[in-house]
Amino acid sequence: MESQGTELFEKALEKGIGTIAMKPMAGGAFTKQKLSLKYIVNSGLINVAIPGMDSIEQVIENASMGDGTEALTAEEQEEINEEVKILGNDFCRRCGYCKPCPEGIDIPNVFLFEGYVTRYNLPEYGKSKYEAMPIKATACVRCRKCERKCPYNLPIVNKLKHAVETFKNI
Ligand code: SF4
Ligand code: SF4
């Protein structure tokens, strides 16, 4: 999803400093998990990837990607590019540049908690975190100040609306 760290990783490698890819599947948003790990293995820049796993099968499948020495094919790279393109318009990176919302909504956390529901299969937990927020997404007055600041041009207002629906349906 993000490649701006490449130069830094190269420098780390040069200096013998280890690197860890945290959230290598974009916090569960990236649907082609095996390709994501193959991409990381092939990059030659990362020493360890630490995807979240919730079953023994996932551990076995993910670990097996570390054995592979096969190069990423052009088709696979294209598949990755396609997914990145799609997610690019919708995926909150939690950078916080949209803050502060004049109404006090913690925008990235709304999307994080929605992700617990939609991606991590933790509906009750996600909803409880959202319910505990002092100011809910429903407080949005659609001023769009946040959208003007989001470097990824995310449709924040619509995404907040979507999050409200997600929590309502649990
Ligand atoms: S559009 Fe909504 S979420 Fe964004 S800054 Fe305005 S009130 Fe806050
Ligand atoms: S600026 Fe955009 S990507 Fe960054 S936290 Fe806000 S909504 Fe997410």
pLDDT at 33: 86
Structural domain boundaries of the chain?
6-88, 107-168
pLDDT at 25: 87
Return the closest-CA partner of residue 142 out of 132, 130, 156: 156
The pTM (predicted TM-score) of the whole model is 0.78
- State which ligand 2 atom lies nearest to the alpha carbon of 159: 7
Cα 101 to ligand 1 centre (Å):
5
Q: What is the mean pLDDT of the chain?
A: 92
Q: Quote the tokens at residue 26.
A: 């974009």
Query: Whose CA is closest to atom 3 on ligand 1?
Result: 140
Tens-digit pLDDT profile for residues 84-143: 888 877 889 888 999 999 999 999 999 999 999 998 889 999 999 999 999 999 999 999
Cα 99 to ligand 2 centre (Å):
8
pLDDT at 20: 94
Tens-digit pLDDT profile for residues 69-81: 788 999 999 999 9
CA distances for 119 relative to 111, 116, 127, 134, angstroms: 11, 6, 13, 24
DSSP 8-state secondary structure symbol assigned to residue 139: G
Is the per-residue pLDDT at 57 higher than 80?
Answer: yes
Residue type at 144? R
Percent of all residues in the chain with a pLDDT value above 90, rounded to a whole number: 69
- State which ligand 2 atom lies nearest to the alpha carbon of 156: 7
- State which ligand 1 atom lies nearest to the alpha carbon of 157: 1
Q: Which helix (H) or strand (E) holds 48?
A: strand 48-50
